[in-house]
Chains A and B, each alone.
Chain A
C-alpha cells in the first residue's frame, strides 16, 4: 500500500478492481431527466418500485409465521395480527401496499401512454412494463386467497370458474390453478408457491430488463416537445432526492392507511357454507367482473362468459400492441387515437369498477 493512500482510498480501489464501480459512477453522474410540465409523471414508476420493495420486505416477515394449509393458514394470519409484535402492522402494510402498488402501476402505465413514452425505440420497455403489471395482478389474485377467509375463498372460486370457461383448454387451466376439481388445500399450496416463488422470480427478471431499458434509453420526452431544447435535471442527486421525497410521502400514506384502517381478516373459509351475499373480487378485477355479470348467458348461441373472456383477450392484445399500431407507416404518431383509446379505457375501468362495487 503506497503511504500516501488513506484507508478509504484503499477500500475504493479494492472495490474498483473487482466491481468496476467507476463506470457506474460515471453513468450516474451524466444521467439526466428532462424538465417540463409533465415531469411529475416520471415519479410514479419509482413509487411503484418502492412499494414493490416494501412488498418483498413485509412478505418475507410474514413468511416467518404464515403456514399454507387449510387448517393453519387462517389461524397463522390471526396469530400474526394478534400475537406477533407489530405483526398487525406488517400484515396491514403488506395488504395496503399491494393495492397501492397496483394503483401506482396503472397510473404509471397511463402516464406512459399520455406522454407517448412507449414509442420507438421503447417498445420492449412498454411490453416488459405491461408484463410486470400482469404479474402484479397475479400477485394480487394469488395473495388474496392466502389468509383463507370466506371472501377470498369464494372470490378464488369465481375467478377459477372464469378460467374454466376458456374454450378447449379452460378446464385444464382451472384444474392446474386449483390443483384439483375444487378450490381446496391443493389450491392454497400452489397459490402460495406462485405468490412467493414463481411470480417473484419472473418479476425480478422482468424488472431488471425493464429498469435496464429505462437506463439505456433514458427518460422519454413528450413528442410535442421534440423541437424544444428542454432543461435537464441531474438524476443524482436532484431527481433522486425528489423521488426520495415521493417515497417518503408514499410511506406516510401507506403507514396511515395501515394504522387507521387495519386490513380485516374476516371469517375463516368454510367450503361447505353457501357463498356470502355481495361476493366480489379485489377492486382491480371489478370492471371485468361486472362486465361479465352484465353479459347475457347466451349471445347468438355463444356462451356469454366465453364471449366476455374473448372480448377481454382481444382488448388485452390490442392494448399490449399499442406501440405497434400507434405509429403510422410513415412514422407519424397517431396521438389522437392513442389518447382517445386511453381516455375510453380509463372511463370504462372507473365506471364499471364503481358499478361493480356499489351494485
Chain B
C-alpha cells in the first residue's frame, strides 16, 4: 500500500518534473531517499544553480524515472568514497569555472589533499580516512563563513574530533585521541570560543586543511611562528635552537606543549612548576638565569597590579585618574615585551623592558597615591566648609529668633 502511495506521489509530481525531477521526486519520498533532497535546499551548490545530476549524473529534465536515472544518461547513483575527491575536483580544480562563482577561492584543494595523510591513505585504498564530504558535509554543504558549516572556525575542532577523538576509529592508525580534550583546555580554544576570535588557531591552522599533516619536529617553530613571529625570531637566534635541533626536540612544544597550550606565566620560569628545570639544574647558569627572568617578570607584574589597585581605589573615590590609567597600558606593554624577550633566553634582554615598566608602575602608583591624598584633603575641606555653613545657619537662626523676640511695635517680626 505504501509503495503504491509513493508511485502516486511521484506521478502527481511529474508535471513539475521538467524543472528538476531528482528533487521533485525525492522530496515526495521518505527516509534516506528524501533526506538528501530536503538537505540540498540549504546547500551552497543549490543556491549557485547546481543540481543533483551535476554530481550523480542522469537527466534531471526527464520526468520519467527510467530515463532520468538511466546509466545511458550518465547516472552513477551513490558515489564511492574513494571517488569523492576527484568528483569534487571536477569543478573545484577548474579555475575558469570557479572564477564564475568564487573568484577568490583556490583551486588546488585536490593537489593538496593528495599530499595529506588522508589523501595518501585513500590513494592506498583506505576509504575510512576523511575525504571532502566528511569535513564539509554532503548535500547540505555551506560556505566556510556560515556558522552552520562544520568547517566554520568555531566548529572545525569538533569536526576533526569526530574521527580523531574516536578511539575505535583511530585504533588501527595508532594515533592518540586526546588532542581535542587537550585543545579544549588551551588558550587557543579560549580565544576562539570564549572571546569569539575567529582568527585564533584551531586544528587546520597548524596542520593545514586539505593538505592535513602533522608538523614535523623541525618545523614546529615555523608553524607557531606563523602567528608568534617575534617569538620564532628570538628562538631562532637563541642558544636553545641548536641544542633542541640536535636533541630532536620540537622547539616551542618542549616548554609549551602542543594541543593543550595553557596561558604562559612567570611560574614557567621559576618555582616548582618551572619548565626550565626539566633540563636545567637550579644552580646551573641556565637555572639561575631562568629564575632571574621569572623574578624580574613577577616583580613588574606585581608592581603594575599594585598601581592598578591604588588607581582603582582613587577612581572609585571619584578622582580623575584617566592619565595614569593610560600610562598603565604602556606599563603592561613593557610586561608583554619582557615576556616575549624571555625567548632570547638572556636575563639582560628581559631586564630592559622590566626596568622601563617598573619606572612607569612607580609613576602611576605615585599618581594614584597623590589622588588619594587629594581626595582626603577635599574631604577635610568639605568638613571645614560644612562646619562653617552650619555655624552660619545657626547664626542666622539666632538672628531670626532675636529679631522675632522683639515686641511687634518695633516693626520687625511676624504680625497679623
Contacts and interface: CB of A to CB of B under 8 A. Distances in A.
Contacts of A231: 414-416
B397 A265 contact: no
B392 A238 contact: no
A328 interface: no
A238 B386 contact: no
A351 interface: no
B87 interface: no
Contact of B385 (A255, A262, A264): A255
Nearest to B385: A255
Interface in A204-251: 229, 231-234, 237-238, 241-242, 244-245, 248-249, 251
B322 A248 contact: no
Interface in A240-285: 241-242, 244-245, 248-249, 251-252, 255-256, 259-262, 264-265
B379 A259 contact: yes
B389 A248 contact: yes
Contacts of A248: 389, 392-393, 396
Contacts of B15: none
A310 interface: no
A35 B416 CA distance: 9
A229 B396 CA distance: 28
Interface string B397-410: 10110011000000
Interface string B39-71: 000000000000000000000000000000000
A245 B393 contact: yes
A238 B323 contact: no
B320 A241 contact: no
B318 A81 contact: no
B84 interface: no
Contact of B416 (A88, A229, A237): A229
Chain A CB within 10 Å, residue with most, of B318, B320, B378: B320
A237 B412 contact: yes
B362 to A, nearest CB: 20
Given A88-B320, A231-B414, A265-B322, A238 B404 contact: yes
B320 A82 contact: yes
Contacts of A232: 414-416
Contacts of A245: 393, 396-397, 400
Given A78-B322, A261-B318, A238 B381 contact: no
Given A259-B381, A262-B318, A238 B414 contact: yes
B77 interface: no
B399 A255 contact: no
B407 to A, nearest CB: 14
Given A231-B414, A234-B413, A255 B386 contact: yes
Contacts of B319: 262
Contacts of B415: 231-232, 234
A33 to B, nearest CB: 10
B382 interface: yes
Contacts, number: 72
Contact of A262 (B320, B393, B397): B320
B390 interface: yes
A229 B318 CA distance: 53
A244 B382 contact: no
B414 A233 contact: yes
A326 to B, nearest CB: 30
A208 to B, nearest CB: 28
Nearest to A35: B414
B379 A241 contact: no
A234 B408 CA distance: 11
A244 B396 contact: yes
A260 B389 CA distance: 17
A323 to B, nearest CB: 30
B360 to A, nearest CB: 18
Contacts of A261: 318
Contacts of A260: 318, 379, 382
Contacts of B403: 237-238, 241
Contact of B389 (A78, A89, A229, A251): A251
Contacts of B396: 241-242, 244-245, 248
B382 A242 contact: no
Contacts of B389: 248-249, 251-252, 255
B79 to A, nearest CB: 47
A120 to B, nearest CB: 26
Contacts of B385: 252, 255
A95 to B, nearest CB: 12
Nearest to A250: B389
Contacts of A252: 385-386, 389-390
Contacts of B392: 248
A82 B323 contact: yes
A231 B414 CA distance: 7
Nearest to B397: A245
B382 A256 contact: yes
Contacts of B379: 259-260
Contacts of B400: 238, 241-242, 245
Contacts of B381: 259
Interface in B198-220: none
Contacts of B397: 245
A244 B400 CA distance: 11
A35 B413 CA distance: 11
B393 A259 contact: no
Contacts of A255: 382, 385-386, 389
A262 B400 CA distance: 35
B377 to A, nearest CB: 10
B37 to A, nearest CB: 39
Contacts of A229: 416
Nearest to A234: B412
Nearest to B319: A262
Contacts of B399: 241
30 contacts: A78-B320, A78-B323, A82-B323, A89-B378, A231-B414, A231-B415, A232-B415, A233-B414, A234-B412, A234-B413, A234-B414, A234-B415, A237-B412, A238-B404, A238-B414, A241-B399, A241-B400, A241-B403, A242-B396, A248-B392, A249-B389, A252-B385, A252-B389, A255-B382, A259-B379, A260-B318, A260-B379, A261-B318, A262-B319, A264-B318
- The 7 tightest CB contacts between A and B, nearest first, are A262-B318, A259-B382, A252-B389, A81-B320, A245-B396, A248-B393, A233-B414
Interface of B: 318-320, 322-323, 378-379, 381-382, 385-386, 389-390, 392-393, 396-397, 399-400, 403-404, 412-416
Given A234-B415, A238-B403, A238-B412, 7 more contacts: A229-B416, A232-B416, A233-B414, A245-B393, A245-B397, A248-B389, A252-B390
